[in-house]
Each structure stands twice: as structure tokens, then as C-alpha cells.
Structure 1
Amino acid sequence: MGRKMNRGKQQVLFNYLPGRTFDFEGGVISRVSQIRGLQRNDLNIRMLLIKIQEEARGWDEQFRPGLPDRILDDASKFILLEPKNVDAELFPKVFWCDNRICGRVFDYSNRDNLPQQATCSVCRTGKLLQLRFVKIHQCGALESLSPPLCQQCRSPNHMALDTRGSERISNFRWVCRNSQCNGRKASLYPGLCRVCHQPSNTQQPNNTQPTNRRESEMSIEVHRAGRTYYGQTTTLLNIPRRQLDAFFNLPDWGAIAAAKFFGITNRPLEDFNLSAANQQINPSASYSDADLDALMSPNKSPEQIVAEIQALRQQRQQEQQQHAPDAIAQQLITQTGVPLTTWRQVGQEILETIMPLENGRPKKLFELPPTTQEIQNAQVAQQTAQSMGLAQLDLVTDFPMIVATYGYTRAETTPNQCRLNPFPPERDHGGKLPIYVDKVQADALLISLNPDRVHSWLQRNGYQPTMPNGSDPNIARRAYFVQLFEDVPLRETLQGDSPEARMVFGLLHTLSHLCVRQAALLCGLDRTSLSEYLLPRTLTFAIYCNHRFGATIGALTALFEQSLAEWLNAVRNARRCVYDPVCRERESSCHACTHLAETSCRFFNLNLGRSFLFGGQDRSLDKNLIGYLDPSL
């Protein structure tokens, strides 16, 4: 009977994915072979695939098989699975005698049944242990480390592994224990990857075979080393699928979402219907009872009634035309000065900004009366938030986040230096490619920066933002930030060639991290219980509880209602690090002041710096900055 152990869904999504090795309870090394899960048809797979496409686009298409540019055209090839059970197999089936004098290595990779004895069959004193070393390659291949052929006796059956008392694999040696070979030794050589290395006259699909022998070589690693497996995970706000089906059928729904964000239209997104937009306008259906009462006044002649009906019909036609999707999109383009192609690309991020406020039952700090009893010290909290340059601070009690893992890499994480692999097709679901998901129904704090103050901050630091040529200057100033991050790789360190993008993203990212750290302290939570969700194009971020059970439930609601002013002041005063002046002189960012765990930060703790908030030197820009929280602003 197989052994079992219990792990949470979040742990599965990060640490127990197909093809990954792990230490099973009892010291047995295993490899995940399959995740069995419940199909989730209630989640918005369209939005999820758009997010995956955005993140995977860093790899050239030939380096991400199964994740093409037009991923939405292949949506039927994917399935969303919520993990329920994980199947694992013994791996590697290579055993090593722990008697250093012997050190024999036995390879049972091609056998189904393993020997029953736990002691070495040669020395009869040493205990057989699984060899903890494996071979990996950038293409995603994983192999066991098997003993090579002895160059003298031409057999692997007498090979022993001698670590020579070292932990460095480069110091290890293969030693042949055959008496005829007289202890012949050889260095550990991983060999060429058998998955992607092909003879020069063989055509490899997608032209991704290594270009030289060195690139074809595998690496030897301890199986639990980080380089052996990098799961590719994304998070996004779950956008209700069914209630917005008609909205997503609009060809330019991204522009409509942006128009809603900028206040160009106040029409609820659920009201948009593509079929109705294409029908001929029926003005008589839009007459209200008040309109009919005014028309049927006894003091009017028949000629006057006819004239008023025609005028009212024309008015209603104009109103309906103005509220048609095409007209709204055109108003957006005119008022912002930003082309339609941009709004199509950023529609999802803007939609994620407005949906919590439309469906999440928000409590808005700046719309509460200063004397409200809903939160303690409301007036102090409002004044503090405004002095910090915040334009919005809302509590959202319904913030449904999806964590989705869609693939993995080995040896590298840098795009095009490795292959981004999807998970193996699901046999139980018609060979579809699985995306493993978990939905967390959380409360969240949604925070936005004041765009006017951000502009002033950039100018005080010597930058002159180029505004889009829109007809509405105020909306165009906000649309500037949408264009600012176009084609900017936010998961890489931003350098001096994108100074304004580095400034704005660094500001938003650092403030988000400090908010998470200080919120965890006040709530009495571990920082890994809270996560950030950045929406840089709208100068917005959210912090939310990423656990569904325990003390995290309602923690941010309690923070908003009872300790909001204290929390904001703690963030504003978090200018020091225990490692100053060393930290301040280097990056103004380290594990003690700004860093978060990988489960809380999806941007790998890059582009952070207390200098963005409190002033100081930024090494990437080679510039001494005025901080965003400087009182002079």
C-alpha cells in the first residue's frame, strides 16, 4: 500500500508539481507523476489565458511549446484543475552504498521491482540509500545520475562514487572496484541531453536544439536544489465569466473598461450587449412615463405634439449612439490621445482595477464622513493618506484571487536561456494541457497613488513626462502611465534606459512591500500570509490575505476599521533598515527592510528601493532622488 502525506493546495501549486522531485516522509526521494484534480468550469479561463500569454511572451515562441502567441485560439486545449490528489513515484532508482570503503552504485532505473534487502549486496555492511544527485538540462529534461562504463573493463557494474570528503560535485570521482581495473578513476561528466540534442543532420521541431556541444551538456545537481525546477505561477483577480459574457464579446472591451476607469462612461459593464448594439435603435422603447405625460398635455396642439415627439426621438437616438460601444471607444481615444491598440493590450489590467469596486462591496476611506464610527480615527487616517499622496484607499471584502501554475523551467529562469514547458497532457481529460488553480476568497485593501503628485514627483527629480495629445488634459495625464509601461519588462531590473518607468514602478512596488510588512506586524500575521497584487498602469496595488483559513480571515477588515491611521503612520516611518548605512549605500533594499517571500511578490523583489519613498541614491539611475513622501511635495 502506498504511503500518504497531507499538503495544502498552495503548497502543491508551488512545491509538488509534475516532474518535480521532493523528499517524501521517511527519507524517500520521489517525483510527482500526476496531479488529480477537480475541473473548474466556473473560473474565467479567457482572462487567465490572457494573463499567461502576457507573462510567457518574454520567451520567443519556439522556446515555449504549447503556449503560442495566439493562446486564445487554442483555449479548448487547456483545462483548469483544482488539485485534490498528487501521485508520486520513486525517483531516482539509483542506490548508493553508504560504506565509504565500498560506495558501490546500483542502477535499477529499468526495473519495476527493487531488491528487498536494505544492505549492499557487495560489502554486506553498508546501507543502500537513494542517490540524491540528478541531471538536468535547460530544455526541461530530468535524468537520474547513473554510473558510466569503465573505460577499461567496459562495464558499469563495478562503479563506486567517491565524494572524497567534499560537498562539491566537481571533486567527486567515479571509481571502478573491479580488481582488474586497479581503482581506475574518472570525473563526473553529465553527458549530453538525450531529449533535445540531435545529430547535426536531424531537423529539430521549432529549431530549439542547442547550437553547440556545451549548450547540450546537462548539469548535475542535488535533487532538491532550486535549479532543478522552477514552477511558473501567476495570479489574477477572478473576473465573473457568465455575467460578462456579452461584454467580452465586444471587439474593444478593453477600451470600454478604460473608459469606465476614466469616468468617460458610468454604464455598468453587465449592461453591454453586442447583439443589442448591432440592432436598429428603437426610440419608442426609450420613452419614460414622464416623457409621455409631458407629450400628452391638454394645452398642446397636435402639431406641437408631433414636433416634440420628433425632437424627443432625435434626442434619444443621440443618447443611445453616445452610449454605444464604438462611440465610447472613440471618446476614449480622443480624450486620452492614446491609440486603440494600446487599450486592447491593457484592458485586463484596467478591468482588474475597476471590478473590485463594482462587485466587491467596497468601503472607501475618502468617501466616509470624517466623524464616521465605521473606523477609528477616520479623520486622522484621511489626512495621513492624503499627505502620503494616496488618491484611493478602499476595503474590499470580496476579492477572489486565482493562483494558477501553468508550466515550469529547469536550470534557468531567464527567457530564451531555457525552455518554458507546459505540464504533461492529462490522460483523464482527453489529453488537454492542465493549468492547476486555487481560488482564495479574500478581503483586500486597494490603494492608488495620486497621479498629479506622481507627475510632480517626477518633475522634482528632473524628469519631464511627455503627455499624450488628448482633448482632456486631466484624463491624458492619467493615460500617460498606461503608455509608460508599454513593452516594459517589469520582471527584470529596470535600468537607466527606462528611467521614468523605473521611478514609477519602483515607487509603487516599494510602497506595496512596506504596506504588506507593516500590515503583517499590526495583524500579528506571518508576512507570507499576505500578498501584493500590482496594477502599475493604474497606479494601483492591492494587499490581500492569501490563506482561506485561520487568523487571516478578516484580518485586513479589522486593520481598516481599528488600526488604519496607525498602519499608515507605520508605513510612512519605515525609512530605516537595521543594516544601514550598508543597505542604504547599496540598493536601499534587502530582506530586512523591503523584501517579501516569493509567494507574496510575483516580481522577484526587483526594482525596489527605499530611496523612491524617502529619498537617497538610486544606483541604477545613478541619481540622488527626492522621495515621494518628502514633505515638500
Structure 2
Amino acid sequence: MLRSHSQVLYSFLPGAVFRHEDRVYGQVLSVDGRRLTDLNDVVIFSEIADYLENWPEDDRYDLPLPRDARMNEYRIISPEAVRWELFPLILECTRRSCGRVRSYQNARDIAAEGGRCAKCGAAQQQLRFYSAHNCGQVKKVYVPKCPTHGYDEISFDNTGSFLTATWRCHGPGCNGAVTSRTNMSPCSCGKWPGPDGVVRMRAHTLDDSRAYRAHYVDLVNVESSTFQTYQRHPNRNQIAVAHFLGLIGSIKDGLGEADTRSDGKRMTAAQWEVKEAVYIEMGLSADEIADLKRVRGPVETGLAALGTVSEAAVEIVAAARTFYERAAVYDRNEVPRMALADQVEVARERGDTLQADAMQQAVDVATTMGISELAVTWEFPIAKVAFGFTREQHEPGHGAIRGFRNQREHDNKYPVYAVATTTEALLVTLSPKEVLTFLHERGEAVTAPTDERTARRQLLEIFADAGARPAPADTIRTLIHTLSHLLLRGLDDGQVGFAESSLAEWMVPETLTFAVYANSLKDFTLGSLWTLLNSRSLSWLRSVCDQVIHCENDPICYQREHRSCERCAYLTFGCRHFNADLDRRVLADFLLSRGALAAARPAAV
């Protein structure tokens, strides 16, 4: 069976149960395709290993940590051809007066009987239940045997719930009597027993999405040679920090400076003041001191201006993949973007004052929300990589995660399936000065910043010191993550063409940056987010501010320790952190401290 790359990655990965267009259900056995060699496999496998380390080793099946030499045991595949089998092989007669059930060993036996009921000759259909367990195993439901008539007269009385459904026998003497209640099949794994200590599978309908979830990692995949060089460069961290601090204009400038510098760390202004006094006392001329200052003295731009940034900020904070990816995403030479504030001027230049005024109101609301830049790009380069799946329970410690290996394919390697695409995205950056002022008011930051540049440096040190003082970094993560979810959910209003399940987030809390992107994995864009930015940004931001305060589950949600739930902040898909670190209370406090919630209300008519 052939499907598009995106279809396979979302709906037809190994182990998934799906409905075929021929109105039958099947289970995917394996997925084949060409081997991909143009992605950064080192980064991909590092991210997969970090993800898998959240699971205990005993709960990882066919998923060794892809580190060092074990990376060679994996293979990155473009998902194209799907091999599947009919599942489950329990059929029931479609004639309601008959309803006889028969279990088959393989599809050939069904074909031999023509798919017809042996009792009345009517067409058969698959029984719409199967059993699954946290460990990842699945099996067809257990069909009981009548002591008198065997399996020939058994029917399934479907009440709409597997818990109340029954098996009945219609043979002479039984006359439709209940043969057995439905029972949960035992699982041989021995893990995650029920309250009675017995390990059982749970029945699911064939369309129940809870019984299977694929696990992915997303990474920025800029294809330019500049980005590829930057990714591998030994000074990548310094370049990323310098770009975030505004000390270099592009990562290309940073690469050029890193490759030509031969000097060590430059002095700070205070250090130079002391050293200059020494030079004067030594009798050096003004020209000689000026030459030394150019080489060793303080500078305000370039990598040399990183002197006051701690080693921990460079070696720990900037080493995170998303941090150095952010430098490329926010480099207009690599990923062009259009900011809302700039589009106000474009609208005024073409004489569209009504739209310009509405957009300016949106800029004002965004500013009061602490957003320093709201932009759109049509060229957000994302690669999505699927490497395993879970059933029933999808979080570490509650179930097992399984890989996709099939010993008869891919030279017995462990396959991961990847699709790279360029899509549209909203790029959001909060003001470091406003966020750190908020932290200072909460008592989590020692000093309030005086300007944006100082605030950016303080922000880096907060995350560098997160091991000793976690509170401010945790507050920032919660603030960024919650706002990201509410902005994403705010798009699911039927007016921009996106459902919540078709969007995903990319976050860099260390830089107060996140993106909401179209998770379609198709190399074209509808321009919906561009339309949002130009025509609906004001109403969108206002609705998000309203969502901060109100939830359909209130007052229950309002009274939770972490004020968030499936009705206000949770995402069905698209959240790598499984909806952790969300709290509308933190976001509401931040917006209230700035007067944003009042400013977002429409003016009275």
C-alpha cells in the first residue's frame, strides 16, 4: 500500500491499527522507503537518545539508546510503502437475526470461504474490538466456547460498551442464552497489574486513538551550507549566544569572526580601566595604548564582546539544540520573516489606514502582553522523526515504548522514519526586560533590568544557575509554555483553516522564544498565518487574553494547583512535553502586572 510521506508518518506507522478505504481494518506490519542521508543524523540520534532516557531501560523494546557506536544500528528512512495485514481476524455476520461470530487464523482462510457467514451465507464484517496493553502488545478479543455447541453458534451482543457486552449461544437448548461476559485478556508481560494483581489487556474499538501513539522528535532543518557549517562548528555556542545578545548580525558573520580570531577573551570595561592605568604608569604612549585596546580591550560587538557572559551560560545553556537552532531561525538570511510591526508601515504606505490602525492596535495589545515581536514565516524548516510508539499509557513509567524494527527488513536495523518540510509558522518573542521585571516583582530575580540588552544577559545567567536556583527558570518555562499553548489553541476557531491537532509548537524558553507551526508536513503553505497576522491578529490576541482568565471547566480548573486542563491549555498533539509545566495562574499574573488583560478588552461602543 502506497501513501504520502505525511500520511504514513501520522497514520500508518508499524503497529498502528487503521481503516482501509475498502472498509476493512488492518494493522501495519512494516514501512519501507529510501534511506535518507541528507539529515543531520548525529543531532537526530542525540535527541532520540535524550527522549528515550526518560523511560526505564526495561520499558524500552527494540529501542537501544542511539549513542556512539550504537548509532550504526539505526537507519533513517523516508516512509513510503506500507505493508499490512487484516486485523483483527474475528468476523461477525452482518445479518442481525444471525450475528454468528467466527475467528480465523489468517486472511487466506477468510478468502477461501468468500467472506460469507457459514450459517446463513450473509456478508461478514470485522468485530470492532481488539485488546491492547501498556507493554505494546495487541491481540484479538477472546471468543468463548459453548460447552454444548462449541464456537459455531456464538454471537456477540454489542451494547456499545465492551464492559456490558455479552457472548451468547444460539444453538438448540441455549436459544440465545449468555455464554460468557466479556473478559479482559491476560497479558504475558507481567507488568502493570490491575487492582486485583492480575495483568490484563484492555479492549478498544478499532477507531480508538488511545490504543496507539507514535513518538516523534522535531528539529529545525535549515538546508543552507552556512547552517550546516554552523551546526558542526566548535564555536557554535558562542555564535548562538552572540546572536541572541545582538552582538552579531548573522550566523555567517559569527562564523567569519570565529574562523579569523586568534586572540583570547577580551577584557571587560572595568578590567581595561585598571590595565590602562598600568600602561600609563609604564610610560606607554597614547598610540601604543590605543593599539593594545584594539587587540585586548573591551568591545561592544562580535564574539569578543562575550567577556561578561559566564562559561556556564555558553557551555550549558547555549549547548541545547533549540538554543543554537534559534539563531538560524531568527537570521533573516536563513529564514525570512515578516513582523507585525513592520506590516503596519507597509499598510500605511499603500494607503490602507483602516487596516494599519487595526494592526497597530494589535501591536499595542501584543506589547502590553510582553511580546516584543510577533512575526510570520512561510519558510519554517522542520523535520519530524518518528522512532517508536506506545499503547494505552503514553508517559514514562506508565507503559513501555516500542521501536519499529522488523527483522526481515532494513538489514535488521532499527528504522526511524523522517519527513523534512518547509511550512508556515508564527514566531513569538517576549521582552526579556518585561519578563525579568515580573520575576523581580515575584521575588525570584535579585535585580530588575534597566534595558533589553542587560535583561538578555541576566536571562542567560538565570538558566545557567537553574541547578542551584530553579525557581526563576521554572517560572519562565511555565510562562512561555502556557502562552504558547493558548496562542495555538486560539487559532482553532474555524477562521484561519487550522485545527488544534494540525498545529505544533517549537520552544526555546532560554530566549523567551517559541513558534506555532502548521504540522502538515507538506511543502506548501496556505498563507493562513499571514492572513491572521494582517487581518485578525487583534481579535486573536484578545481571545487569548480571555482564555487566560476563563475555562469551561471552571471553577474546578480555577481551583487546581496548576490551573490548566484539557478545556483551556492542553494540546491533543503537538506538545513534546505531554502538557507538563502549564499554569494559567502564572500567565495571568504576568499579564495582570502589565495591565494587558484590561488593554485587550474591546473599547465600549
TM-score, normalization: structure 2?
0.75
d(CA) in 2 for partners of 1:427, 1:270: 49
d(CA) in 1 for partners of 2:210, 2:545: 38
Q: Any conservation in 1 of the 2:503–2:519 contact (CA below 8 Å)?
A: yes
Q: CA deviation at 1:628?
A: 7.5
Q: Which runs of 5+ in 1 are unaligned?
A: 198-207, 283-307, 489-497, 617-623
Match of 2:272 in 1: none
d(CA) in 1 for partners of 2:201, 2:324: 44
Distance 1:352 1:137, change over 3 A: same
- Could you tell me which of 352, 356, 372 is aligned with 1:376? 356
- Could you tell me which of 507, 519, 529 is aligned with 1:556? 529
Match of 2:309 in 1: 335
1:350 aligns with 2:323: yes
Residues 512-538 of structure 1, C-alpha deviations (whole Å, 9 max, x = no match):
244335556596323345443222222
Q: CA deviation at 1:112?
A: 3.2
Which range moves more in the overlay, 565-574 or 123-132?
565-574
- Could you tell me which of 137, 140, 147 is aligned with 1:141? 137
Match of 1:451 in 2: 432
Q: Give the letter for the 1:507 counterpart.
A: L
Which range moves more in the overlay, 127-136 or 351-360?
127-136
Distance 1:501 1:177, change over 3 A: farther
Q: CA deviation at 1:390?
A: 1.7
d(CA) in 1 for partners of 2:410, 2:494: 46
Q: Any conservation in 2 of the 1:611–1:627 contact (CA below 8 Å)?
A: no
Match of 1:542 in 2: 515
How is 1:141-540 mapped onto 2 (pairs within 5 angstroms)? Answer: 141-148=137-144, 157-158=151-152, 160-163=154-157, 166-174=159-167, 185-194=179-188, 196=189, 214=197, 216-240=199-223, 242-250=225-233, 253-254=236-237, 256-263=239-246, 268=251, 272=255, 331=306, 335-336=309-310, 338=312, 342-343=316-317, 346-358=319-331, 359-364=334-339, 373=349, 376-377=356-357, 380-425=361-406, 427=408, 429-460=410-441, 462-465=442-445, 474-483=455-464, 500=472, 503-518=475-490, 524-528=496-500, 529-540=502-513
Match of 1:202 in 2: none
Q: Any conservation in 1 of the 2:55–2:397 contact (CA below 8 Å)?
A: yes
Q: Give the letter for the 1:453 counterpart.
A: E
Q: Which runs of 5+ in 2 are unaligned?
A: 264-286, 448-452, 600-605
Q: Any conservation in 1 of the 2:131–2:201 contact (CA below 8 Å)?
A: yes
Q: CA deviation at 1:117?
A: 3.8
DSSP-derived class of the 1:240 partner = coil
DSSP-derived class of the 1:349 partner = helix
d(CA) in 2 for partners of 1:140, 1:63: 10
d(CA) in 2 for partners of 1:74, 1:131: 42
Q: CA deviation at 1:407?
A: 1.0
DSSP-derived class of the 1:456 partner = helix
1:629 aligns with 2:596: yes
Q: CA deviation at 1:133?
A: 2.0
RMSD, matched Cα: 4.9
Q: CA deviation at 1:351?
A: 1.6
Distance 1:193 1:548, change over 3 A: closer
d(CA) in 2 for partners of 1:240, 1:420: 31
d(CA) in 1 for partners of 2:201, 2:574: 32
DSSP-derived class of the 1:478 partner = helix
Q: CA deviation at 1:600?
A: 4.6
Q: Give the letter for the 1:360 counterpart.
A: V
Which range moves more in the overlay, 602-611 or 11-20?
602-611
1:58 aligns with 2:39: no
1:44 aligns with 2:40: yes
d(CA) in 1 for partners of 2:101, 2:530: 58
Distance 1:573 1:534, change over 3 A: same
Match of 2:25 in 1: 29
- Could you tell me which of 93, 109, 113 is aligned with 1:113? 109
d(CA) in 2 for partners of 1:213, 1:225: 25
Distance 1:578 1:318, change over 3 A: closer
Q: Any conservation in 1 of the 2:570–2:579 contact (CA below 8 Å)?
A: yes
Q: CA deviation at 1:631?
A: 6.7
Distance 1:436 1:549, change over 3 A: closer
d(CA) in 2 for partners of 1:550, 1:49: 24
Number of residue pairs aligned between Structure 1 and Structure 2 = 562
Residues 463-520 of structure 1, C-alpha deviations (whole Å, 9 max, x = no match):
42368xxxx96454211553587799xxxxxxxxx86566433432332244335556
Residues 45-80 of structure 1, C-alpha deviations (whole Å, 9 max, x = no match):
333333333333321233223444453543333333
Q: Any conservation in 1 of the 2:422–2:523 contact (CA below 8 Å)?
A: no
TM-score, normalization: structure 1?
0.72
d(CA) in 2 for partners of 1:582, 1:599: 26
Q: Any conservation in 2 of the 1:233–1:403 contact (CA below 8 Å)?
A: yes
d(CA) in 2 for partners of 1:22, 1:340: 47
Residues 78-127 of structure 1, C-alpha deviations (whole Å, 9 max, x = no match):
33333333333211222234567765432222563323344432x32664
Q: CA deviation at 1:30?
A: 1.2
d(CA) in 2 for partners of 1:133, 1:158: 20
DSSP-derived class of the 2:320 partner = helix
Q: Give the letter for the 2:312 counterpart.
A: V
Q: Any conservation in 2 of the 1:516–1:527 contact (CA below 8 Å)?
A: no
Q: Give the letter for the 2:32 counterpart.
A: R
